[in-house]
Structure 1
Amino acid sequence: MANRAPTFALVTLGGVIVGFVIGWQLPAAMTADAAPTESAAADAPALPTLSLGERLRGEITSDSELNGKDGSRFERFSLPLEEGTLIEIELDGPLKGTLTLYDDHAQMLATSSDPAYYDASSASALRRRIDESGDYTLVVSGHDLHSYGPFTLTSREMELIESDTLAMPMQADGWLQGGADHYTFTIEESGLYQVEMRSSDVDAFLVLDGPNGYRREDDDSAGNLDARIADFLEPGEYRLTARTAYGEGNGLYTLELAPHAFADANALRNSGELRLDEPLQGWLSGDALVYQLELETRSAVTLEMLSDDFDSVLELQGNHVFASDDDGGEGLNARLYYPLEPGSYTVTARRHGTGGSGLFELRASAVEIDEMPGNDRLEVNHPISASLLPGGRSVYEFQIDRAGEYHLEMRSNDFDAYLELEGEGVFLSDDDGAGDLNARISTHLEPGAYRATARSYGGGDGGAYTLSLSSA
């Protein structure tokens, strides 16, 4: 035991020595990610005061307080704030820096930059709703040990929605912090209406409850991480909840309530006959909508469903045919092509998934499929209009009686045409020789039997096309 006592005393003494050295090196320094301590506050001179609505200039220099963690420098300011105020503080100037706000209990409330990822554009502004009146501390710190320079602070109080009762129409800003915001509004006349929640700070989420058990939710229908509920609303009082998608995060958002751009509900058709070359508009808010299509002749039919409000899905059924499409059109629009026999068909319009509703346009067009010459024969100067099933190919035979220059051409507005020609020692192919994704083979042909193959480039598409053989 006598041998161990000096060792214990030495360790204790070493700890005292080390603590003394550290205290001597950084007597009054603090880190930007740690609030000022009571002892530091007692020893330090009074902080300069930043008043809300004021512009204040400063500078980070080698004389500024030192962050012992990473070597960066920082300046502190006192900021008196009132309960319920939503503040915005902006940092301008050459300094590459970050803003951090502490309450009067030395607790960090907000920072303008993620410590793991610095983004100069987002690090220049800090927003926070104040829960309790008091004197707060604002810290302006350099991003790293090389960050020095002058800066300007600009502070302001942001105007927010002052009431939980909204009007129709209106646009106003709100702030989410630790929960959801709840509002009410009244619909006087039945019609099409739209509610949007947009934010660059949070993933927006809307919930709308109304008369007769009405309830709608939406996350991302407005694009990016913004929310939109567009629907036909009956008269009555509605309850709107604005929150984040996963209940996390704080930030500014904008609410906009307005009649839908297409507000004439009487002009909508949500059932009935779908006529060729007569587009109709409908409103989808839940269940799929069903239309009837009548064909008198064998035709290659193209169906399209277009919407800016949701992801469209089309289904076609009848006469032993069932086909569907999700994104065959541009963007999230649906497009179906199918050669059909005369008869009655059902066209179903719906949305992909469970979210989203709104306006859509439904179109139907058809090209009659001509009777092919016997054995699918192609004649010189007698064009053929036909259709190609997705993934299929059509083969035509033709006879050349007189040697000369000939043009074999395939045109389509539905797919990228591709031609192959073989016979009498010739084998040629073409993709876009006729321009605009149309195919053309121009060559000298001797008398004899030939075969032309018509298909889509890549082999996966289908649609209507015209095939012609002409002499030069």
Structure 2
Amino acid sequence: MANRASTMTLAALGGAAVGLVAGWQLPDMAPTTAPIIEEAAADNAASPVLTLGERLRGEITSASELNGKDGSRFQRFTLSLEEGALIEIELGGPLQGTLALYDSEETLLASSANPAYYDAPAATSLRRRIDESGDYLLVVSGHDKHSYGPFTLTSREMELTTSDTLEMPSRADGWLQGDGDTFSMTIEESGLYQIEMRSSDVDAYLVLEGPNGYRREDDDSAGNLNARIADFLEPGDYRLTARAAYDHDGGLYTLELGPHAQADGATLRNSGELTFDEPLHGWFSGETLNYEFTLESPAAVTIDMLSSDFDAYLELQGDNVFASDDDGGDELNARLYSPLEAGSYRVTARSHGGHGSGLFELRASSTPLEELPSNGQLEIDNPVRARLAPGARDYYELVVEEAGRYRLDLLSDDFDAFLELDGQGQYLRDDDGAGELNARISSHLEPGSYRATARAYGSSESGSYTLQLHRE
């Protein structure tokens, strides 16, 4: 077990603003003479007092103190802090600004413009564990020389979790440092559970260990460098470790534990028959899952895999067909569409890269090929110009009278063109074969009837297009 600190007080002064580099300093041209130092000390002594737990308002104006380095304006506040306290200060109001905390020697201790790392919006808060009781200086600074306006500092107090044992469900706030914090937890009933670790200070990382050699790790499944473990857990005692993914300074984090929100009344099925127009729910935990279906006659089949827990990935195999898809559906959902001959097929459901876990839904539908709507006949050297609706597929019939090599192009300035051609035992498709975002299929075709499908690569794209067929 990690050594837990005694109960600490967290002061959070809330709001919302965006800042880059907080700072205050005397003009660069000023010599560091004793009178100037004494004058700065006098200014600090006269600064408004900020008391943890109160709401305080201020404003940056053209009369505020000047940062001689970049021309921004700033305002100082003094506050008294106790040793061992963990404080969080946030900036609110119209001012586009930043915060900086200094000790009595005017040494910078923390800044809202220095988040630990990652591509997140610039922080508008600073956090610091206080090493020594005394008076400290808080500086509210404009983002740049054009930043003026009122701001708000509002405070509240909260206690951090000091226990090494977590209940299910529960929420815990902690301060991460060193090798992280380790907790024990007990699962009373088997079921689906979810554990999340969120932090704006560190790249969250979770490790869960349990009965019969169970072990799961996660880094970024909750998005924005937050961690999530969602899995089916058996009854027993578990060990949960919350830490940073890499060696960085410590920071505030929140743990949330509870049952996973699954579809009401859903029965989870991780294998077996995939029935058309009958959605099923499953649970992915790192191992690929296989389902089967059979077509009695040729049909166009659409398969969707949807999940809010992980990046869905689908594969389709059978009768000399192999197709796969990652993000063909909305967001990180997968979608496969394929005209298929009669026969047996296998669908493999997993995550992209094998990462993550959680609940998913699998849907399948089919339309007999002869029932697919037709947008008309496509003739050699006679281009068709039309407009594609969002999420739609346009179908065209073409007849090849003489064997030879043919080129089919789908051209559009409005969307990423995707082209499919099926018939006479062939199923061909292309995304960007014609250059830029245009599609092209060039192949030897035997005499007979074929179906060309014009669509967009993304499910929501739309716009005008040209479809043309040439003999090479």
The answer as to 2:98 corresponding to 1:139 is: no
Provide the rounded CA distance (Å) in 2 between the counterparts of 1:298 and 1:61: 74
Provide the rounded CA distance (Å) in 1 between the counterparts of 2:264 and 2:58: 58
Q: Do 2:44 and 2:76's aligned partners in 1 also have CA atoms closer than 8 Å?
A: no
* CA deviation string 1:153-202 (max 9, x = no partner): 44433333342322111234333355523322211011111112233444
Which of 420, 426, 429 aligns to 2:378? It is 420
Structure 1 residues without counterparts, runs of 5 or longer: 1-19, 31-39, 116-120, 370-383, 387-408, 412-417, 442-448, 468-472
Counterpart amino acid of residue 255 in structure 1:
L
Q: How does 1:391-402 map to 2 (within 5 A)?
A: none
Q: Do 1:316 and 1:323's aligned partners in 2 also have CA atoms closer than 8 Å?
A: yes
SS in 1 for 2:161: coil
The answer as to 2:234 corresponding to 1:276 is: no
Provide the rounded CA distance (Å) in 1 between the counterparts of 2:62 and 2:311: 57
Q: Do 1:419 and 1:440's aligned partners in 2 also have CA atoms closer than 8 Å?
A: no
CA drift of 1:140 comes to 1.9
Q: Do 2:169 and 2:258's aligned partners in 1 also have CA atoms closer than 8 Å?
A: yes
Instruction: Provide the TM-score with structure 1 as the length reference.
Output: 0.65
Q: How does 1:249-398 map to 2 (within 5 A)?
A: 249-262=249-262, 267-369=267-369, 384-385=370-371
Which of 413, 419, 423 aligns to 1:460? It is 419
Provide the rounded CA distance (Å) in 2 between the counterparts of 1:302 and 1:211: 40
Q: Do 1:95 and 1:148's aligned partners in 2 also have CA atoms closer than 8 Å?
A: yes
Q: Do 2:44 and 2:137's aligned partners in 1 also have CA atoms closer than 8 Å?
A: no
Provide the rounded CA distance (Å) in 1 between the counterparts of 2:283 and 2:100: 48
Provide the rounded CA distance (Å) in 2 between the counterparts of 1:438 and 1:77: 63
Once the two structures are overlaid, the 10-residue window that deviates more, 322-331 or 278-287, is 322-331
The answer as to 2:36 corresponding to 1:26 is: yes
Provide the rounded CA distance (Å) in 1 between the counterparts of 2:103 and 2:239: 34
Q: Do 2:285 and 2:358's aligned partners in 1 also have CA atoms closer than 8 Å?
A: yes
CA drift of 1:249 comes to 4.7
Once the two structures are overlaid, the 10-residue window that deviates more, 165-174 or 136-145, is 136-145
Structure 1 counterpart of 2:444: none
* CA deviation string 1:256-286 (max 9, x = no partner): 2111112789811111222233222111101
Counterpart amino acid of residue 242 in structure 1:
A
For the aligned residue pairs, the C-alpha RMSD in angstroms reads 4.3
Which of 386, 389, 398 aligns to 1:431? It is 386
* CA deviation string 1:56-83 (max 9, x = no partner): 5677789987766556666655433234
Q: How does 1:46-125 map to 2 (within 5 A)?
A: 49-55=49-55, 77-91=77-91, 98-103=98-103, 107-114=107-114, 125=125
Counterpart amino acid of residue 419 in structure 2:
G
Counterpart amino acid of residue 23 in structure 1:
T
Cα distance 1:212–1:430, how it changes in 2: closer, same or farther (>3 A)? Answer: same
Counterpart amino acid of residue 211 in structure 1:
P
Provide the rounded CA distance (Å) in 1 between the counterparts of 2:101 and 2:215: 39
SS in 1 for 2:354: coil
Provide the rounded CA distance (Å) in 2 between the counterparts of 1:317 and 1:148: 62
Provide the rounded CA distance (Å) in 2 between the counterparts of 1:48 and 1:96: 21
SS in 2 for 1:353: helix
Provide the rounded CA distance (Å) in 1 between the counterparts of 2:264 and 2:390: 43
Q: Do 1:419 and 1:454's aligned partners in 2 also have CA atoms closer than 8 Å?
A: no
Counterpart amino acid of residue 358 in structure 1:
G
Provide the rounded CA distance (Å) in 1 between the counterparts of 2:70 and 2:418: 60
Structure 1 counterpart of 2:374: 410
SS in 1 for 2:212: helix
CA drift of 1:114 comes to 4.6
* CA deviation string 1:195-239 (max 9, x = no partner): 122334443322222222222122222233322211001111222
Q: Do 2:184 and 2:239's aligned partners in 1 also have CA atoms closer than 8 Å?
A: yes
Q: Do 2:79 and 2:138's aligned partners in 1 also have CA atoms closer than 8 Å?
A: no
Provide the rounded CA distance (Å) in 2 between the counterparts of 1:292 and 1:158: 54
Structure 1 counterpart of 2:220: 220
Q: Do 1:101 and 1:111's aligned partners in 2 also have CA atoms closer than 8 Å?
A: yes
Structure ranking higher on relative contact order (CA contacts 8 Å, 6+ apart): 2
Q: Do 2:207 and 2:218's aligned partners in 1 also have CA atoms closer than 8 Å?
A: yes
Structure 2 residues without counterparts, runs of 5 or longer: 1-29, 116-120, 402-406, 412-416, 424-449, 453-472
Q: Do 2:302 and 2:337's aligned partners in 1 also have CA atoms closer than 8 Å?
A: yes
Structure 2 counterpart of 1:209: 209
Instruction: Provide the TM-score with structure 2 as the length reference.
Output: 0.65
Counterpart amino acid of residue 432 in structure 1:
R
Q: Do 2:422 and 2:451's aligned partners in 1 also have CA atoms closer than 8 Å?
A: no
Identity across matched positions, percent:
61
CA drift of 1:293 comes to 1.9
CA drift of 1:240 comes to 2.0
Q: Do 1:303 and 1:335's aligned partners in 2 also have CA atoms closer than 8 Å?
A: yes
SS in 2 for 1:225: coil
Provide the rounded CA distance (Å) in 2 between the counterparts of 1:195 and 1:336: 31
Provide the rounded CA distance (Å) in 2 between the counterparts of 1:158 and 1:139: 20
CA drift of 1:461 comes to 3.9
